[in-house]
Every structure is written in structure tokens, then in C-alpha cells.
């Protein structure tokens, strides 16, 4: 993580042989149409995918129609091939091992805090925040294995995924896969992306609030959704909705393997903390941790999507559709760690199986392709990204109210 984007928890990236050139060699052999990219003191010729049109990878205006779609698709495939040639789909196993280690360390610190200082209010609150942090980080780590971005063999990714999401978090790998893969296939598309199915609690984007308003649908006062979001959004998503949905899904679908993994989490938690709090106290303690984690999860996951275009499915190529539905948050050591590198949401959606520590390396290529076709590449500071969630909800609520009051 951090400035290099791949220095997570002290990990050093595994070096792999790549072609390197001195700047003098580049200048000597450079053609006017050639474009070069420097990453970690290594230089790559990216002309093979960026020079199909005059001007290389610079902005050359918008393309229209099927020819544009075909050209963007072709260029994106070339971009992916370039990323493969740069070994950006190669995982640094030490990076992910250290991420797992720092989660286990936090779990140990939490237990030791209660064991040594007792179950008073101060140690309890401190322990809850430590455990909520470990849960959030475990959530980002299971995401890596769920996307098969760590091991070359899918089987190993699936096994570790079940361990992390099941034993460390008490959730279901199959439940997560079912939801998350739909999201990646059709991000921000109504009736296809489960992440924008708000169960009539919120209206999103520009099309849905107008439709609700025209049909005089008022399940809640949506013009105030930017206010009640703080009461029922971040606080309740995980402890109330997700926790119930996950358990019911495993039982209804008879997913006994995932259920066994989840039971192992709850057994471990209650065996650890019932001696300090009793049964009822341990249940309350668990839900308080979920409450804290839910805030973290909701703000991070919504800052990249809810503020973008949310609509019915338009006809678009893969590249353009992902850029329309995702935005990035500026890179920093904290932002990388805090969001599990999902501050690089654009790169993650374009390359779902790429290890997250390589997102910062492929980002310049993505920016270049966006510039070539005049596609907006949105990147913003963390605080602004969080504020934009509320602005987006307020705007959608106002659209609903205007349509609702219009006769």
C-alpha cells in the first residue's frame, strides 16, 4: 500500500523479469508515434495499443457508433494484454500473508485487552473498535480471494475464501459470490445489480426517483433520504439486513459447508467472550462490533458507485460501462488500507482478477485509454467522495419530490 500502492504491511513486491531500457536508448529509437510508460523505474513501450490513431494515447475526441464500440473493445483487449506482459496479474503472496497476519494480530490484541484490563466500559469499547477494524480488513481480504486474484489455482482461492469469510467473519462464500458477481457483470443497472436494490428504502440515480414520483410511490419521504441515511443505512446494513439474509440463505439453500464455516466463527467468538460478558452480553457485544463495521463498509462501498450513473441497461461496450458506474479515490497509504485498495475501483472493475497491489501500476494505462476516447476518469479526495454520497442521495430525493408533486 502507500505511495507505491504495493507496500502493504511491510510487504515487498516480488520482482519478476521485465524488459528495461535506459532513457538514452528510448530517445535513440523512439518514433514520433511511440508512447512510453515508466513504472517502478522500468520503461514500457505502450505504442502497440495506444497508437492506432494519430496522436497516440492523447485525447482525440469522442467516437460514435458501432465502430467506436469495436475500437474501444479492441484497444481494451490490447491494454489487458499489455498488463499481462507486465506481469500485473501475478500475485505477491507475502503481501496477502501479511494482511492476514495483521488481522490475526488485531484479534489477539482484542482478546488480550479484555483479559488483562477486564470488561469495563473503556476496555470494551477499545476492543470493539479493534475487532470492527479486523472485521473490515477481513472483508477486504476475502474479497481478494473471492475474485481468485491471489493463487493461480482456483481451488486454493476458494478454500481460503471460505476460511476468511466463514471462519473469520461468520458469512457465506456462496452468498457473497452470488451477489458480487452480478454486481460486477452489470454494475449500477436496475434489476440486475443487487447492490442498487434498495427495497424501496432509497431511490437512486436520476431515472428511478422520477419513475417513483410519476407513479406516486412514497414508501418513505425520499426527499429526506439524505438525512435518514445516517439512521438506517450505515448502522443497520450488516447487523440487521446482511446478518439475517446470510443465515437464511444458507439454511434455505441447504448450504451446509458454508453454514459449518459460519458456525465455527460464532463458536469461536462466544467461547472467547462469554466468560467475560455472559451469553447476553456477548450477543450485545457482537452486534455492537457489527454496528461499527457496518459504518465502515457502507461508506467505503458506496463512495465508488452510488454517486455514479445508475440506470436501466444502456448499450455500451464493457470498458465504457465500467467507467460510467465507478470512480476512484485518491491514493495514499491510509486510503489504500482503509478501503482495501477499492479506492482503485475503476481498475478493479476492469480487471477483477488482478491482485490489488498492482492497481496503481495499470492505472496510467487506463487513464491513457480514457483520454484517447474522451471518457471521463473520475478520481477524487476521500472526504469529497464521502460527501458526494449525501449529495447524490439529496439530489435523487429532490428529483423524486418534483416528479411526485407534478400533476
pLDDT band at 315 (very low <50, low <70, confident <90, very high): confident
Dump pLDDT digits (tens) for 249-297.
999 999 999 999 999 999 999 999 999 999 999 999 999 999 999 999 9
Q: What average pLDDT does the chain have? A: 87
Residues 261 and 393 both lie in one domain: yes
If one compares 337 and 45, the residue with the highest pLDDT of the two is 337
For cell 465507478, the residue is 326
Host domain of residue 271 = 70-406
Question: What b-and-e string marks burial along 329-351, b requiring 16 or more CB atoms within 10 Å of the CB?
Answer: bebbeebbbbbbbbbbbbbbbbb
d(CA 61, CA 340) in angstroms, rounded, equals 34
Q: Given a cut of 50, is residue 42 above it in pLDDT?
A: no
Q: Which of these three, 9, 38, 69, is where a domain ends?
A: 69
The helix-helix angle for 318-325 and 359-373 (nearest 10°) equals: 110
Residues 29 and 64 both lie in one domain: yes
Residues 40 and 179 both lie in one domain: no
pLDDT band at 244 (very low <50, low <70, confident <90, very high): very high
Q: Given a cut of 50, is residue 101 above it in pLDDT?
A: yes
Dump pLDDT digits (tens) for 177-228.
999 999 999 999 999 999 999 999 999 999 999 999 999 999 999 999 999 9
Residues 300 and 329 both lie in one domain: yes
Q: How confident is the model over 371-396, as a mean pLDDT?
A: 96
Distance of CA 23 to the CA centre of its chain: 37
Residues 34 and 103 both lie in one domain: no
Residues 149 and 41 both lie in one domain: no
Of all residues in the chain, the percent with pLDDT exceeding 90 is 80
Residues 57 and 112 both lie in one domain: no
Domain count, the chain: 2
Q: Which of these three, 36, 51, 69, is where a domain ends?
A: 69
Instruction: Locate 260 and state its grid cell.
Output: 459449518
Dump pLDDT digits (tens) for 329-362.
999 999 999 999 999 999 999 999 999 999 999 9
* CA 383, 387, 388, 389 torsion-angle sign: positive
Amino acid at each position: 500500500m502507500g505511495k507505491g500502492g504495493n507496500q502493504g504491511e511491510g510487504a515487498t513486491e516480488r520482482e519478476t523479469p521485465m524488459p528495461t531500457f535506459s532513457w538514452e536508448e528510448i530517445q535513440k529509437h523512439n518514433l514520433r508515434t511511440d508512447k512510453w510508460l515508466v513504472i517502478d523505474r522500468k520503461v514500457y513501450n505502450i505504442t502497440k495499443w495506444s497508437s492506432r490513431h494519430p496522436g497516440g494515447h492523447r485525447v482525440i475526441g469522442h467516437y460514435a457508433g458501432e465502430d467506436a464500440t469495436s475500437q474501444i473493445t479492441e484497444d481494451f483487449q490490447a491494454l489487458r494484454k499489455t498488463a499481462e506482459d507486465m506481469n500485473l496479474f501475478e500475485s505477491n503472496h507475502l503481501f496477502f500473508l501479511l494482511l492476514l497476519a495483521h488481522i490475526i494480530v488485531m484479534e489477539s490484541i482484542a482478546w488480550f485487552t479484555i483479559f488483562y484490563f477486564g470488561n469495563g466500559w473503556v476496555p470494551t469499547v477499545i476492543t470493539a473498535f479493534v475487532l470492527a477494524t479486523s472485521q473490515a480488513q477481513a472483508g477486504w481480504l476475502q474479497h481478494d480471494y473471492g475474485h481468485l486474484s491471489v493463487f493461480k489455482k482456483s481451488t486454493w482461492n476458494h478454500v481460503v475464501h471460505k476460511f476468511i469469510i466463514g471462519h473469520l467473519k461468520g458469512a457465506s462464500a456462496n452468498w457473497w459470490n452470488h451477489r458480487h458477481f452480478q454486481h460486477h457483470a452489470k454494475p449500477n443497472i436496475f434489476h440486475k445489480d443487487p447492490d442498487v436494490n434498495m427495497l424501496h428504502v432509497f431511490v437512486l440515480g436520476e431515472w428511478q426517483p422520477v419513475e417513483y414520483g410519476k407513479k406516486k410511490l412514497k414508501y418513505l419521504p425520499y426527499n429526506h433520504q439524505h438525512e435518514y441515511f445516517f439512521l438506517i443505512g450505515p448502522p443497520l446494513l450488516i447487523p440487521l439486513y446482511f446478518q439475517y439474509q446470510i443465515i437464511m440463505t444458507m439454511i434455505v439453500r441447504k448450504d451446509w459447508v458454508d453454514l459449518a464455516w459460519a458456525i465455527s466463527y460464532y463458536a469461536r467468538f462466544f467461547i472467547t467472550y462469554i466468560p467475560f460478558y455472559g451469553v447476553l452480553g456477548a450477543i450485545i457485544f457482537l452486534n455492537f462490533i457489527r454496528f461499527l463495521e457496518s459504518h465502515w463498509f457502507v461508506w467505503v462501498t458506496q463512495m465508488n458507485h452510488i454517486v455514479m450513473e445508475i440506470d436501466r441497461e444502456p448499450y455500451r461496450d464493457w470498458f465504457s460501462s465500467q467507467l460510467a458506474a465507478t470512480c476512484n479515490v485518491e491514493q495514499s497509504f491510509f486510503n489504500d488500507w482503509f478501503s482495501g485498495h477499492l479506492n482503485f475501483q475503476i481498475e478493479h472493475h476492469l480487471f477483477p482478477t488482478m491482485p490489488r497491489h498492482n492497481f496503481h501500476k495499470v492505472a496510467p494505462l487506463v487513464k491513457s485509454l480514457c483520454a484517447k476516447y474522451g471518457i471521463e476518469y473520475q478520481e477524487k479526495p476521500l472526504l469529497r467522495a464521502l460527501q458526494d454520497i449525501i449529495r447524490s442521495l439529496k439530489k435523487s430525493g429532490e428529483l423524486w419530490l418534483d416528479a411526485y408533486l407534478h400533476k
